[in-house]
A and B are shown apart, each in its own frame.
Chain A
Amino acid sequence: MSENLERRRFLKCLGASSLIIAPLGCSSVEEEGESDQPHYTMVFDQNKCTGCGECKLACTTANNLPEGKSRLLLEQQSGGVVGEVCPHCGKTDCDCQRKYVRVSCQQCKNAPCVTVCPTGAAHRDEKTGIVTMDASKCAGCKYCIGACPYDARFINKETDVADNCDFCLNSKLSKGELPACVQACRYDALIFGDLNDPNSYVSKLLRVKDAVRMKPGFGTEPSLRYIPIVKLGV
């Protein structure tokens, strides 16, 4: 009984407060630029990645980064499962390192680096919604580096300013090309496209494939999706 009453009162309050809060909420959504904006997404398929590193090289060249530096890393992880026969070497106790994960800016919808940046150098591109950098504004305070929950930013030693993967927004996308890493991947481990377009390949792919996002607990709503290696026969 009392529980019911409580609930009713709660709902009433909720209704009343939503009337007050809704307009506030709307006004903040508006500046995000609504549905005609694309939502660019990158999918990393762990099943296909061989760790060849072509994507890293392509990134370095495309974005004029200092030698050996690129906006992404490939973390090598052990492919073995404890107590099971390794599919690569046939031993139960191996140290085959056969699994790779792409480490790069996750293109958060709710990006801490953008919130935190005192100068607006780390910002969201108006047209595409991609998180990118205005190098001429960056003061090099490294606040964004500490704030990024994915540790996906770094200081470019040549320009002394912060840098992040922006899907090659200025180097490729603006010319109508795919990001350099996607072009370079010979194994189709990287798929890129607009998730707001139901006919795009990423949309279709994500409709049929299980994909996960990194550290969703931070509430940053990353745009990168990962298709993890699935162990069969467990």
Chain B
Amino acid sequence: MDGSIEFTMGLSQGIAWPWPIAVYLFFAGISGGALSVALFIRFYKQQTENTAFLKAASLMSLVTISLGMLCLVLDLTNPLFFWRILVFYNLNSVMSIGVIALSAYIPLVALVTLFALEDEIRKFPALRFLLPVIAKLRGVRAPSEKVVLLLALSVCAYTGFLISALIRFPIINTSVLPALFVASGLSAGAAAAKMLAVGLFKEELHSSDMKVLHGIEWPIMAAEILFIFMLAMSLFTGNAGMQSAFTAFHSGTWASVFWIGIIGIGFVGPLLLNFATSKAFSHSAKALYMSGMCAVVGMMCLRLFIIYAGQNHGI
């Protein structure tokens, strides 16, 4: 026996961070991912018009980050204490730094969305009061898009850093987590925005934006698989605590979530839909929605797996 004395009970009774945190990580990832991809394409192709994909991505980003914030606040022991996080700061804390980033990110996302949806706003009389605001702020559009791209990527990464600081859980306390969360945020964010672009903003299925998206999807997914593999391997070859955490990958409920949700639906699903079906089907809107949903569901399962399997396997 290594320790002559040890305790195994705890005072917190249950897991500290339940599913709303997983949902928050999911929404923040989608928000950051969708906006980053859209702005990447905008800068890469030097677009100046408001493309359907930009509209969809910025709207998606604004809605998801707002829902994410709601989850975060509702998970506090008393939601009325929320102001305390905004008033008191501790710069050693990843969460505090995240709060600073988010309080710049959220208004900027709103601004970017406003610019992108100018035409739509014009169509609704109730929203017309926003037009003078847009006109006045037009000068800051380019710089704010650049800043928000940086912040969007930071928000994705921050969700990973936030939880990787929990040192007693080997699955969570890994250095690849931020990278994994950026990759999965990008792929699910892009998938979600793509569906919205086609469904709401009538983007053509084979427009040039969609082609670029197709081109970057697979490499990002490959990176994601690589990061998950790295995480599993580091646990498998690690110390006793890490090895016991590795069991999360092959036994218990969360192992099913991993294999069915993340691997099956998240990775194999889109691959099959794209490469194992007839060309007519894989190029249809139906296939786009189905593989988009697969990516989003896979990402949600990944967050749930990390949060629950992670906290269930402490040292």
Contact = CB atoms under 8 A, between A and B. Distances in A.
B93 A112 contact: no
B90 A141 contact: no
A154 B13 contact: yes
10 contacts: A71-B11, A115-B165, A116-B93, A119-B90, A137-B88, A140-B77, A141-B76, A150-B7, A154-B13, A214-B6
Nearest to A165: B11
Interface stretch (B37-45, B79-87, B222-230): B79-87
Interface of B: 3-13, 16-17, 75-78, 81-82, 84-85, 87-90, 92-96, 99, 163, 165-169, 311, 314-315
Contact of A75 (B9, B82, B84, B93): B9
Interface string A49-77: 00000000000000000000001110100
Contact of B7 (A112, A160, A214): A214
Given A160-B77, A212-B4, A153 B11 contact: yes
A197 to B, nearest CB: 26
Nearest to B166: A146
Contacts of B11: 71-73, 103-104, 151-154
Contacts of A116: 92-95, 165
B91 to A, nearest CB: 10
Interface residues of B: mostly helix, strand, loop or mixed?
Answer: loop
A212 to B, nearest CB: 6
Nearest to B11: A154
A75 B5 contact: no
A147 B10 contact: no
Contact of B311 (A71, A146, A160): A146
Given A118-B96, A228-B5, A145 B315 contact: no
B17 A152 contact: no
Contacts of A140: 76-78, 81
A143 interface: yes
Nearest to B8: A75
Nearest to B311: A146
Given A118-B96, A154-B11, A228-B4, A160 B78 contact: yes
